[in-house]
A and B are shown apart, each in its own frame.
Chain A
Protein backbone atom coordinates (compact mmCIF):
# COMPACT_ATOMS: atom_id res chain seq x y z
CA UNK A 1 0.00 0.00 0.00
CA UNK A 2 1.14 3.54 -0.66
CA UNK A 3 0.77 4.49 2.97
CA UNK A 4 3.05 1.71 4.21
CA UNK A 5 6.23 3.24 5.58
CA UNK A 6 7.73 -0.08 6.61
CA UNK A 7 7.28 -3.12 4.38
CA UNK A 8 8.86 -6.39 5.42
CA UNK A 9 8.36 -9.26 2.96
CA UNK A 10 9.28 -12.88 3.71
CA UNK A 11 12.40 -11.78 5.50
CA UNK A 12 14.78 -14.36 6.94
CA UNK A 13 18.19 -14.35 8.53
CA UNK A 14 20.23 -17.43 9.32
CA UNK A 15 23.41 -17.65 11.38
CA UNK A 16 24.73 -21.08 10.51
CA UNK A 17 21.95 -23.45 11.50
CA UNK A 18 20.17 -20.89 13.65
CA UNK A 19 17.17 -19.19 12.11
CA UNK A 20 17.29 -15.88 13.95
CA UNK A 21 14.46 -14.54 11.80
CA UNK A 22 12.44 -17.02 9.82
CA UNK A 23 9.98 -15.69 7.25
CA UNK A 24 8.58 -12.49 8.69
CA UNK A 25 5.98 -10.35 6.90
CA UNK A 26 4.73 -7.11 8.30
CA UNK A 27 3.76 -3.60 7.29
CA UNK A 28 3.53 -0.42 9.29
CA UNK A 29 1.55 2.55 8.08
CA UNK A 30 2.56 6.18 8.37
CA UNK A 31 1.86 7.65 11.80
CA UNK A 32 1.39 4.32 13.53
CA UNK A 33 3.05 3.17 16.72
CA UNK A 34 4.02 -0.43 16.23
CA UNK A 35 5.23 -2.66 19.05
CA UNK A 36 7.41 -5.73 18.67
CA UNK A 37 7.31 -8.15 21.56
CA UNK A 38 9.13 -11.33 22.37
CA UNK A 39 11.55 -13.06 24.69
CA UNK A 40 15.29 -12.51 24.47
CA UNK A 41 16.50 -14.29 21.39
CA UNK A 42 13.09 -14.16 19.70
CA UNK A 43 14.66 -12.28 16.79
CA UNK A 44 13.43 -8.74 17.52
CA UNK A 45 16.80 -7.03 17.46
CA UNK A 46 17.92 -8.92 14.37
CA UNK A 47 14.71 -7.89 12.61
CA UNK A 48 15.35 -4.29 13.72
CA UNK A 49 18.88 -4.38 12.38
CA UNK A 50 17.68 -5.72 9.05
CA UNK A 51 15.09 -2.95 8.83
CA UNK A 52 17.92 -0.46 9.33
CA UNK A 53 20.14 -2.11 6.75
CA UNK A 54 22.73 -3.06 9.39
CA UNK A 55 22.36 -6.80 8.85
CA UNK A 56 21.80 -8.23 5.38
CA UNK A 57 18.82 -10.61 5.17
CA UNK A 58 19.39 -14.18 3.97
CA UNK A 59 16.11 -13.94 2.07
CA UNK A 60 13.24 -11.54 1.46
CA UNK A 61 13.00 -7.80 1.00
CA UNK A 62 12.56 -4.80 3.26
CA UNK A 63 11.50 -1.36 2.07
CA UNK A 64 11.53 1.70 4.28
CA UNK A 65 9.81 4.75 2.85
CA UNK A 66 9.55 2.85 -0.43
CA UNK A 67 13.33 2.32 -0.71
CA UNK A 68 14.94 -1.11 -0.44
CA UNK A 69 17.21 -0.97 2.62
CA UNK A 70 20.06 -2.57 0.72
CA UNK A 71 19.83 -0.14 -2.18
CA UNK A 72 21.79 3.06 -2.84
CA UNK A 73 18.72 5.22 -2.22
CA UNK A 74 18.63 4.22 1.44
CA UNK A 75 21.19 6.82 2.48
CA UNK A 76 18.61 9.56 1.93
CA UNK A 77 16.07 7.57 3.97
CA UNK A 78 18.57 7.29 6.85
CA UNK A 79 18.62 11.07 7.17
CA UNK A 80 14.96 10.98 8.19
CA UNK A 81 15.34 8.05 10.53
CA UNK A 82 16.11 7.86 14.24
CA UNK A 83 17.48 4.71 15.89
CA UNK A 84 17.99 3.89 19.53
CA UNK A 85 19.81 0.56 19.77
CA UNK A 86 19.35 -1.90 22.60
CA UNK A 87 22.18 -1.24 25.10
CA UNK A 88 23.20 2.05 23.54
CA UNK A 89 26.94 2.74 23.84
CA UNK A 90 28.64 6.10 23.41
CA UNK A 91 32.19 7.38 23.61
CA UNK A 92 33.27 7.81 27.22
CA UNK A 93 35.66 10.65 26.47
CA UNK A 94 33.02 12.94 24.95
CA UNK A 95 30.52 15.04 26.90
CA UNK A 96 26.80 14.62 26.36
CA UNK A 97 26.69 17.74 24.20
CA UNK A 98 29.73 16.71 22.16
CA UNK A 99 28.23 13.27 21.61
CA UNK A 100 25.05 14.78 20.28
CA UNK A 101 27.00 17.28 18.15
CA UNK A 102 29.01 14.43 16.60
CA UNK A 103 25.87 12.58 15.54
CA UNK A 104 24.29 15.85 14.40
CA UNK A 105 27.21 16.41 12.01
CA UNK A 106 26.89 12.86 10.67
CA UNK A 107 23.18 13.37 10.12
CA UNK A 108 23.69 16.81 8.61
CA UNK A 109 21.52 18.36 11.32
CA UNK A 110 21.99 21.89 12.66
CA UNK A 111 24.05 21.79 15.86
CA UNK A 112 21.67 24.30 17.41
CA UNK A 113 19.19 21.43 17.92
CA UNK A 114 21.48 19.71 20.43
CA UNK A 115 20.99 21.99 23.44
CA UNK A 116 17.17 22.03 23.36
CA UNK A 117 17.07 18.26 22.76
CA UNK A 118 19.24 17.62 25.83
CA UNK A 119 16.91 19.83 27.78
CA UNK A 120 13.91 17.92 26.43
CA UNK A 121 15.25 14.61 27.74
CA UNK A 122 16.25 16.18 31.05
CA UNK A 123 20.01 16.15 30.56
CA UNK A 124 20.86 19.83 30.25
CA UNK A 125 22.52 19.90 33.69
CA UNK A 126 24.86 17.09 32.60
CA UNK A 127 25.44 18.40 29.06
CA UNK A 128 29.08 19.30 29.69
CA UNK A 129 29.94 16.23 31.71
CA UNK A 130 31.70 13.30 30.09
CA UNK A 131 29.49 10.36 29.20
CA UNK A 132 31.85 8.16 31.22
CA UNK A 133 30.19 9.40 34.41
CA UNK A 134 26.62 8.94 33.15
CA UNK A 135 24.28 6.44 34.77
CA UNK A 136 22.49 3.81 32.67
CA UNK A 137 19.35 5.93 32.67
CA UNK A 138 21.25 9.04 31.56
CA UNK A 139 22.87 7.14 28.71
CA UNK A 140 19.45 5.94 27.66
CA UNK A 141 18.13 9.52 27.70
CA UNK A 142 21.11 10.63 25.64
CA UNK A 143 20.42 7.79 23.24
CA UNK A 144 16.84 8.95 22.89
CA UNK A 145 17.96 12.54 22.26
CA UNK A 146 20.30 11.20 19.57
CA UNK A 147 17.42 9.32 17.94
CA UNK A 148 15.35 12.51 17.87
CA UNK A 149 18.04 14.57 16.08
CA UNK A 150 16.73 16.15 12.91
CA UNK A 151 13.06 15.46 13.72
CA UNK A 152 12.98 12.06 12.00
CA UNK A 153 9.73 10.90 10.41
CA UNK A 154 10.49 7.37 11.50
CA UNK A 155 11.75 6.16 14.88
CA UNK A 156 13.20 2.73 15.65
CA UNK A 157 13.49 2.24 19.40
CA UNK A 158 14.90 -1.05 20.67
CA UNK A 159 13.97 -1.57 24.34
CA UNK A 160 13.80 2.19 24.83
CA UNK A 161 12.89 2.26 28.52
CA UNK A 162 15.56 -0.13 29.84
CA UNK A 163 17.39 1.50 32.72
CA UNK A 164 14.95 4.39 33.06
CA UNK A 165 13.35 5.17 36.41
CA UNK A 166 9.53 5.56 36.54
CA UNK A 167 9.84 9.31 35.98
CA UNK A 168 12.10 8.70 33.02
CA UNK A 169 9.63 6.20 31.57
CA UNK A 170 6.81 8.71 31.95
CA UNK A 171 8.88 11.46 30.28
CA UNK A 172 9.82 9.08 27.51
CA UNK A 173 6.23 8.21 26.66
CA UNK A 174 5.21 11.85 26.86
CA UNK A 175 7.78 12.72 24.20
CA UNK A 176 6.75 9.70 22.16
CA UNK A 177 3.13 10.86 22.30
CA UNK A 178 4.14 14.33 21.02
CA UNK A 179 6.01 12.77 18.14
CA UNK A 180 3.08 10.54 17.29
CA UNK A 181 0.82 13.57 17.25
CA UNK A 182 3.24 15.14 14.76
CA UNK A 183 2.71 12.15 12.49
CA UNK A 184 5.94 10.30 13.24
CA UNK A 185 5.89 6.55 12.61
CA UNK A 186 7.29 4.68 15.59
CA UNK A 187 8.51 1.11 15.87
CA UNK A 188 9.50 -0.09 19.31
CA UNK A 189 10.30 -3.25 21.20
CA UNK A 190 9.75 -3.89 24.87
CA UNK A 191 9.82 -6.59 27.49
CA UNK A 192 7.48 -4.60 29.70
CA UNK A 193 4.24 -5.52 28.00
CA UNK A 194 1.90 -3.80 30.42
CA UNK A 195 3.86 -0.63 29.66
CA UNK A 196 3.35 -0.63 25.92
CA UNK A 197 -0.07 -2.18 25.51
CA UNK A 198 -1.79 1.16 26.05
CA UNK A 199 0.61 2.94 23.74
CA UNK A 200 0.81 0.96 20.53
CA UNK A 201 -1.63 0.96 17.65
CA UNK A 202 -0.56 -2.47 16.49
CA UNK A 203 1.85 -5.07 17.64
CA UNK A 204 3.53 -8.28 16.62
CA UNK A 205 4.53 -11.08 18.93
CA UNK A 206 7.68 -12.90 17.93
CA UNK A 207 8.89 -16.29 18.98
CA UNK A 208 11.92 -18.16 17.65
CA UNK A 209 12.21 -15.88 14.65
CA UNK A 210 8.59 -16.03 13.56
CA UNK A 211 5.64 -13.76 14.08
CA UNK A 212 3.12 -15.62 16.20
CA UNK A 213 0.47 -12.93 16.24
CA UNK A 214 -0.08 -9.58 14.60
CA UNK A 215 -2.78 -6.98 15.14
CA UNK A 216 -4.18 -4.50 17.65
CA UNK A 217 -4.13 -5.35 21.32
CA UNK A 218 -7.91 -5.75 21.21
CA UNK A 219 -7.95 -7.96 18.13
CA UNK A 220 -5.31 -10.20 19.66
CA UNK A 221 -7.29 -10.50 22.87
CA UNK A 222 -10.38 -11.41 20.92
CA UNK A 223 -8.56 -13.82 18.69
CA UNK A 224 -7.21 -15.55 21.75
CA UNK A 225 -10.76 -15.69 23.22
CA UNK A 226 -9.20 -15.92 26.62
CA UNK A 227 -11.90 -15.97 29.26
CA UNK A 228 -12.33 -12.94 31.42
CA UNK A 229 -13.42 -12.96 35.04
CA UNK A 230 -15.24 -10.93 37.68
CA UNK A 231 -13.95 -10.45 41.18
CA UNK A 232 -16.64 -9.88 43.76
CA UNK A 233 -16.91 -9.17 47.40
CA UNK A 234 -20.11 -10.65 48.84
CA UNK A 235 -21.70 -10.98 52.25
CA UNK A 236 -20.81 -14.34 53.83
CA UNK A 237 -23.20 -17.16 52.97
CA UNK A 238 -24.40 -15.81 49.65
CA UNK A 239 -22.53 -18.43 47.62
CA UNK A 240 -25.61 -20.52 46.87
CA UNK A 241 -27.60 -17.53 45.63
CA UNK A 242 -24.66 -16.54 43.45
CA UNK A 243 -24.43 -20.01 41.93
CA UNK A 244 -28.19 -20.16 41.50
CA UNK A 245 -28.38 -16.85 39.68
CA UNK A 246 -25.63 -17.78 37.27
CA UNK A 247 -26.81 -21.32 36.61
CA UNK A 248 -28.67 -20.40 33.48
CA UNK A 249 -25.75 -18.54 31.96
CA UNK A 250 -22.72 -19.68 30.03
CA UNK A 251 -20.09 -19.24 32.74
CA UNK A 252 -16.99 -21.11 33.68
CA UNK A 253 -15.64 -21.85 37.17
CA UNK A 254 -16.98 -20.04 40.18
CA UNK A 255 -14.49 -19.92 43.03
CA UNK A 256 -15.55 -18.71 46.44
CA UNK A 257 -13.29 -18.11 49.41
CA UNK A 258 -14.77 -16.39 52.41
CA UNK A 259 -16.32 -13.13 51.24
CA UNK A 260 -14.50 -13.18 47.91
CA UNK A 261 -15.70 -14.80 44.73
CA UNK A 262 -14.26 -15.14 41.28
CA UNK A 263 -16.51 -15.83 38.29
CA UNK A 264 -14.90 -16.85 35.02
CA UNK A 265 -16.82 -16.38 31.82
CA UNK A 266 -16.29 -16.17 28.07
CA UNK A 267 -16.13 -12.71 26.56
CA UNK A 268 -19.52 -13.09 24.80
CA UNK A 269 -21.45 -13.50 28.05
CA UNK A 270 -19.77 -10.56 29.77
CA UNK A 271 -22.77 -8.22 29.71
CA UNK A 272 -25.28 -10.90 30.65
CA UNK A 273 -23.20 -11.97 33.66
CA UNK A 274 -22.69 -8.35 34.70
CA UNK A 275 -26.47 -7.83 34.62
CA UNK A 276 -27.10 -10.84 36.83
CA UNK A 277 -24.35 -9.93 39.26
CA UNK A 278 -25.58 -6.39 39.73
CA UNK A 279 -29.11 -7.71 40.38
CA UNK A 280 -27.99 -10.22 43.06
CA UNK A 281 -30.24 -10.48 46.07
CA UNK A 282 -27.39 -10.03 48.50
CA UNK A 283 -25.70 -7.14 46.79
CA UNK A 284 -22.05 -7.47 45.97
CA UNK A 285 -20.17 -4.84 47.96
CA UNK A 286 -17.44 -4.61 45.36
CA UNK A 287 -16.96 -5.78 41.81
CA UNK A 288 -13.98 -5.77 39.46
CA UNK A 289 -13.86 -6.89 35.87
CA UNK A 290 -10.58 -8.54 34.95
CA UNK A 291 -9.45 -8.84 31.35
CA UNK A 292 -6.44 -10.79 30.23
CA UNK A 293 -3.54 -8.38 29.78
CA UNK A 294 -1.40 -8.45 26.72
CA UNK A 295 1.01 -10.34 28.92
CA UNK A 296 -1.53 -13.13 29.19
CA UNK A 297 -1.99 -13.03 25.45
CA UNK A 298 1.73 -13.09 25.01
CA UNK A 299 2.21 -15.98 27.36
CA UNK A 300 -0.69 -17.73 25.71
CA UNK A 301 1.04 -17.49 22.38
CA UNK A 302 4.68 -17.84 23.24
CA UNK A 303 4.98 -18.84 26.89
Chain B
Protein backbone atom coordinates (compact mmCIF):
# COMPACT_ATOMS: atom_id res chain seq x y z
CA UNK B 1 0.00 0.00 0.00
CA UNK B 2 1.27 3.41 -0.88
CA UNK B 3 0.34 6.73 0.74
CA UNK B 4 1.96 9.99 -0.43
CA UNK B 5 4.46 7.80 -2.32
CA UNK B 6 5.37 6.09 0.95
CA UNK B 7 5.34 2.32 0.56
CA UNK B 8 3.90 1.11 3.87
CA UNK B 9 5.17 -2.40 3.23
CA UNK B 10 8.78 -1.16 3.32
CA UNK B 11 8.05 0.85 6.49
CA UNK B 12 6.68 -2.37 7.97
CA UNK B 13 9.77 -4.42 7.05
CA UNK B 14 12.07 -1.97 8.83
CA UNK B 15 9.72 -1.55 11.80
CA UNK B 16 9.39 -5.31 12.23
CA UNK B 17 13.16 -5.72 12.28
CA UNK B 18 13.65 -2.95 14.85
CA UNK B 19 10.89 -4.34 17.05
CA UNK B 20 12.20 -7.90 16.83
CA UNK B 21 15.72 -6.70 17.68
CA UNK B 22 14.45 -5.12 20.89
CA UNK B 23 12.49 -8.23 21.84
CA UNK B 24 15.45 -10.46 21.13
CA UNK B 25 18.04 -8.46 23.06
CA UNK B 26 15.56 -8.39 25.96
CA UNK B 27 15.28 -4.62 25.91
CA UNK B 28 11.49 -4.85 26.00
CA UNK B 29 11.55 -7.34 28.85
CA UNK B 30 13.98 -5.24 30.91
CA UNK B 31 12.06 -1.99 30.49
CA UNK B 32 8.75 -3.73 31.17
CA UNK B 33 10.14 -5.04 34.45
CA UNK B 34 11.45 -1.61 35.39
CA UNK B 35 8.02 -0.07 34.79
CA UNK B 36 6.19 -2.80 36.71
CA UNK B 37 8.50 -2.73 39.70
CA UNK B 38 8.57 1.07 39.92
CA UNK B 39 4.80 1.31 39.58
CA UNK B 40 4.15 -1.26 42.30
CA UNK B 41 6.73 0.24 44.65
CA UNK B 42 5.36 3.74 44.16
CA UNK B 43 1.79 2.63 44.61
CA UNK B 44 2.56 0.88 47.88
CA UNK B 45 5.17 3.13 49.40
CA UNK B 46 4.47 6.41 47.66
CA UNK B 47 2.61 7.67 50.71
CA UNK B 48 5.16 6.43 53.23
CA UNK B 49 6.20 10.01 54.02
CA UNK B 50 2.73 10.64 55.32
CA UNK B 51 3.13 7.65 57.60
CA UNK B 52 0.99 5.27 55.63
CA UNK B 53 2.07 2.26 53.65
CA UNK B 54 -0.13 0.47 51.16
CA UNK B 55 -2.27 1.22 48.18
CA UNK B 56 -4.43 4.32 48.67
CA UNK B 57 -6.50 5.63 45.82
CA UNK B 58 -5.98 5.38 42.08
CA UNK B 59 -5.80 9.16 41.89
CA UNK B 60 -2.90 9.48 44.29
CA UNK B 61 -1.20 6.54 42.63
CA UNK B 62 -1.49 8.11 39.19
CA UNK B 63 -0.19 11.40 40.54
CA UNK B 64 2.86 9.61 41.94
CA UNK B 65 3.37 7.62 38.77
CA UNK B 66 3.19 10.77 36.66
CA UNK B 67 6.15 12.19 38.60
CA UNK B 68 8.08 9.02 37.87
CA UNK B 69 7.10 8.67 34.23
CA UNK B 70 7.94 12.27 33.45
CA UNK B 71 11.61 11.57 34.27
CA UNK B 72 11.91 7.97 33.24
CA UNK B 73 10.01 7.64 29.95
CA UNK B 74 11.70 10.57 28.14
CA UNK B 75 15.10 9.26 29.25
CA UNK B 76 14.38 5.72 28.05
CA UNK B 77 12.94 6.99 24.76
CA UNK B 78 15.97 9.19 24.09
CA UNK B 79 18.38 6.35 24.87
CA UNK B 80 16.37 4.05 22.63
CA UNK B 81 16.29 6.35 19.61
CA UNK B 82 19.43 8.48 19.57
CA UNK B 83 21.44 6.15 17.33
CA UNK B 84 18.62 5.06 14.99
CA UNK B 85 20.15 6.67 11.92
CA UNK B 86 23.58 7.84 13.00
CA UNK B 87 24.29 4.33 14.31
CA UNK B 88 23.64 2.80 10.89
CA UNK B 89 25.73 5.52 9.27
CA UNK B 90 28.64 5.09 11.66
CA UNK B 91 28.57 1.30 11.45
CA UNK B 92 28.56 1.54 7.65
CA UNK B 93 25.30 -0.31 7.03
CA UNK B 94 23.32 2.74 5.88
CA UNK B 95 24.55 2.68 2.27
CA UNK B 96 23.51 -0.92 1.78
CA UNK B 97 20.08 -0.22 3.26
CA UNK B 98 19.57 2.81 1.04
CA UNK B 99 20.63 0.88 -2.06
CA UNK B 100 17.48 -1.21 -1.54
CA UNK B 101 14.17 -0.16 -3.09
CA UNK B 102 13.37 1.96 -0.05
CA UNK B 103 13.22 5.73 0.34
CA UNK B 104 14.82 7.64 3.17
CA UNK B 105 11.39 8.61 4.49
CA UNK B 106 10.33 4.97 4.63
CA UNK B 107 13.51 3.99 6.45
CA UNK B 108 13.06 6.78 8.99
CA UNK B 109 9.39 5.99 9.60
CA UNK B 110 10.18 2.27 9.85
CA UNK B 111 12.82 2.96 12.50
CA UNK B 112 10.51 5.28 14.40
CA UNK B 113 7.49 2.99 14.43
CA UNK B 114 9.55 -0.11 15.22
CA UNK B 115 11.14 1.59 18.22
CA UNK B 116 7.80 3.13 19.21
CA UNK B 117 6.30 -0.35 19.15
CA UNK B 118 8.99 -1.64 21.52
CA UNK B 119 8.54 1.29 23.91
CA UNK B 120 4.74 1.14 23.74
CA UNK B 121 4.82 -2.59 24.39
CA UNK B 122 6.93 -2.10 27.53
CA UNK B 123 4.77 0.78 28.71
CA UNK B 124 1.43 -0.94 28.20
CA UNK B 125 2.51 -4.32 29.57
CA UNK B 126 4.63 -2.88 32.40
CA UNK B 127 2.08 -0.42 33.76
CA UNK B 128 -0.85 -2.62 32.76
CA UNK B 129 0.54 -5.51 34.76
CA UNK B 130 1.19 -3.21 37.70
CA UNK B 131 -2.42 -2.02 37.42
CA UNK B 132 -3.70 -5.58 37.58
CA UNK B 133 -1.57 -6.27 40.65
CA UNK B 134 -2.80 -3.12 42.37
CA UNK B 135 -6.48 -3.02 42.03
CA UNK B 136 -8.55 -5.76 40.57
CA UNK B 137 -11.52 -4.41 42.56
CA UNK B 138 -11.21 -0.84 41.34
CA UNK B 139 -14.28 0.90 39.93
CA UNK B 140 -14.56 1.41 36.19
CA UNK B 141 -13.85 5.13 36.44
CA UNK B 142 -10.50 4.42 38.07
CA UNK B 143 -9.59 2.12 35.20
CA UNK B 144 -10.58 4.83 32.77
CA UNK B 145 -8.12 7.23 34.40
CA UNK B 146 -5.44 4.57 34.54
CA UNK B 147 -5.91 3.70 30.87
CA UNK B 148 -5.60 7.40 30.07
CA UNK B 149 -2.37 7.49 32.03
CA UNK B 150 -0.97 4.55 30.05
CA UNK B 151 -2.00 5.98 26.68
CA UNK B 152 -0.52 9.38 27.52
CA UNK B 153 2.68 7.67 28.70
CA UNK B 154 2.93 5.96 25.31
CA UNK B 155 2.42 9.32 23.57
CA UNK B 156 5.04 10.95 25.81
CA UNK B 157 7.48 8.19 24.90
CA UNK B 158 6.76 8.63 21.20
CA UNK B 159 7.26 12.40 21.41
CA UNK B 160 10.71 11.97 22.95
CA UNK B 161 11.50 9.14 20.56
CA UNK B 162 10.67 11.50 17.73
CA UNK B 163 13.10 14.04 19.21
CA UNK B 164 15.73 11.33 19.60
CA UNK B 165 15.39 10.20 15.98
CA UNK B 166 15.69 13.84 14.91
CA UNK B 167 18.92 14.14 16.93
CA UNK B 168 20.17 10.95 15.26
CA UNK B 169 19.58 12.44 11.81
CA UNK B 170 21.25 15.76 12.55
CA UNK B 171 24.26 14.40 14.46
CA UNK B 172 27.42 13.54 12.55
CA UNK B 173 28.42 10.77 14.96
CA UNK B 174 26.99 8.71 17.80
CA UNK B 175 28.80 10.65 20.51
CA UNK B 176 27.20 13.91 19.42
CA UNK B 177 23.83 12.24 19.06
CA UNK B 178 23.97 10.93 22.63
CA UNK B 179 25.08 14.36 23.84
CA UNK B 180 22.17 15.91 21.99
CA UNK B 181 19.75 13.40 23.49
CA UNK B 182 20.95 14.13 27.02
CA UNK B 183 20.72 17.87 26.37
CA UNK B 184 17.13 17.43 25.19
CA UNK B 185 16.27 15.52 28.35
CA UNK B 186 17.84 18.19 30.57
CA UNK B 187 16.08 20.94 28.73
CA UNK B 188 12.56 19.54 28.59
CA UNK B 189 12.50 17.58 31.85
CA UNK B 190 14.61 19.70 34.19
CA UNK B 191 15.32 23.17 32.83
CA UNK B 192 12.18 24.26 31.02
CA UNK B 193 9.87 24.31 34.07
CA UNK B 194 12.56 25.99 36.14
CA UNK B 195 12.85 28.73 33.53
CA UNK B 196 9.08 29.26 33.52
CA UNK B 197 8.97 29.26 37.28
CA UNK B 198 11.94 31.60 37.44
CA UNK B 199 10.26 34.01 35.03
CA UNK B 200 7.12 33.84 37.11
CA UNK B 201 8.89 34.53 40.39
CA UNK B 202 11.27 37.15 39.04
CA UNK B 203 8.39 39.13 37.61
CA UNK B 204 6.46 38.82 40.84
CA UNK B 205 3.75 36.86 39.11
CA UNK B 206 3.34 39.41 36.35
CA UNK B 207 4.48 36.88 33.78
CA UNK B 208 1.49 34.70 34.56
CA UNK B 209 -0.34 36.22 31.69
CA UNK B 210 -2.53 34.60 29.10
CA UNK B 211 0.61 33.30 27.37
CA UNK B 212 1.69 31.18 30.29
CA UNK B 213 -0.52 28.13 29.68
CA UNK B 214 0.51 28.13 26.04
CA UNK B 215 4.16 28.09 27.08
CA UNK B 216 3.41 24.90 28.98
CA UNK B 217 2.17 23.36 25.73
CA UNK B 218 5.62 23.91 24.24
CA UNK B 219 6.99 21.10 26.37
CA UNK B 220 5.69 17.55 25.82
CA UNK B 221 6.54 16.65 29.42
CA UNK B 222 4.28 19.45 30.67
CA UNK B 223 1.53 18.44 28.29
CA UNK B 224 1.73 14.95 29.73
CA UNK B 225 1.52 16.27 33.28
CA UNK B 226 -1.48 18.44 32.57
CA UNK B 227 -3.18 15.67 30.65
CA UNK B 228 -3.00 13.37 33.68
CA UNK B 229 -3.34 15.72 36.60
CA UNK B 230 -6.19 17.83 35.33
CA UNK B 231 -8.55 14.91 35.15
CA UNK B 232 -8.01 14.04 38.79
CA UNK B 233 -10.14 16.15 41.15
CA UNK B 234 -8.26 15.05 44.25
CA UNK B 235 -4.84 16.19 43.11
CA UNK B 236 -5.71 19.06 40.80
CA UNK B 237 -5.94 21.59 43.57
CA UNK B 238 -2.97 19.98 45.27
CA UNK B 239 -0.83 20.87 42.26
CA UNK B 240 -2.29 24.36 42.09
CA UNK B 241 -2.82 23.81 38.41
CA UNK B 242 -6.22 25.40 38.33
CA UNK B 243 -4.64 28.75 39.08
CA UNK B 244 -2.34 28.80 36.07
CA UNK B 245 -4.11 26.62 33.57
CA UNK B 246 -7.44 27.69 32.14
CA UNK B 247 -10.26 25.20 31.98
CA UNK B 248 -10.84 25.73 28.25
CA UNK B 249 -7.36 24.39 27.41
CA UNK B 250 -7.64 21.43 29.75
CA UNK B 251 -9.39 19.31 27.20
CA UNK B 252 -8.09 15.78 26.73
CA UNK B 253 -8.71 15.89 22.96
CA UNK B 254 -6.86 19.15 22.52
CA UNK B 255 -3.95 18.11 24.74
CA UNK B 256 -3.80 14.78 22.92
CA UNK B 257 -3.60 16.64 19.62
CA UNK B 258 -0.75 18.77 20.98
CA UNK B 259 1.04 15.57 21.96
CA UNK B 260 0.55 14.14 18.48
CA UNK B 261 1.98 17.37 17.06
CA UNK B 262 4.99 16.85 19.32
CA UNK B 263 5.43 13.46 17.69
CA UNK B 264 4.83 14.61 14.12
CA UNK B 265 6.81 17.87 13.99
CA UNK B 266 10.27 16.61 15.02
CA UNK B 267 9.75 13.59 12.75
CA UNK B 268 8.88 15.94 9.89
CA UNK B 269 12.01 17.96 10.57
CA UNK B 270 14.10 14.76 10.66
CA UNK B 271 12.58 13.64 7.36
CA UNK B 272 13.34 16.95 5.71
CA UNK B 273 16.94 16.84 6.93
CA UNK B 274 17.51 13.18 6.07
CA UNK B 275 16.43 13.80 2.48
CA UNK B 276 19.00 16.54 1.98
Contacts and interface: CB of A to CB of B under 8 A. Distances in A.
B96 A83 contact: yes
Contact of A87 (B17, B92, B101): B92
A106 B10 contact: yes
Interface in B81-112: 91-93, 95-103
Given A72-B5, A102-B17, A106-B10, A91 B93 contact: yes
A78 B96 contact: no
Contacts of B243: none
A87 B94 CA distance: 12
Pick the most buried of B10, B99, B100, B103: most chain A CB atoms within 10 A of its CB. Answer: B99
A20 B166 CA distance: 29
A108 interface: yes
A79 B101 CA distance: 6
A134 interface: no
A93 B21 contact: yes
A250 to B, nearest CB: 52
A93 B103 CA distance: 24
B90 to A, nearest CB: 10
B183 interface: no
Contacts of B14: 106
B107 to A, nearest CB: 10
Interface string A87-111: 1111101000000001101111000
A88 B24 CA distance: 23
B100 A54 contact: no
A85 B88 CA distance: 14
Interface residues of B, number: 20
A85 B96 contact: yes
A54 B5 contact: no
Contacts of A90: 93
A135 B100 CA distance: 24
Interface of chain B: mostly helix, strand, loop or mixed: helix
A39 interface: no
B25 to A, nearest CB: 6
A247 B101 CA distance: 66
Interface in A67-85: 72, 75-76, 78-79, 81, 83, 85
A146 B96 CA distance: 10
Contacts of B92: 85, 87-89
A69 B91 CA distance: 25
A89 B101 contact: no
B13 interface: yes
B118 to A, nearest CB: 14
B13 A106 contact: yes
B21 A106 contact: no
B21 A107 contact: no
Contacts of B24: 93
Nearest to A78: B101
Contact of A75 (B95, B97, B103): B103
Interface string B27-69: 0000000000000000000000000000000000000000000
A78 B93 contact: no
A108 B95 contact: no
A52 interface: yes
B101 A54 contact: no
5 tightest A-B CB contacts, nearest first = A89-B92, A78-B101, A83-B99, A106-B100, A89-B93
Interface of A: 49, 52, 54, 72, 75-76, 78-79, 81, 83, 85, 87-91, 93, 102-103, 105-108, 146, 156
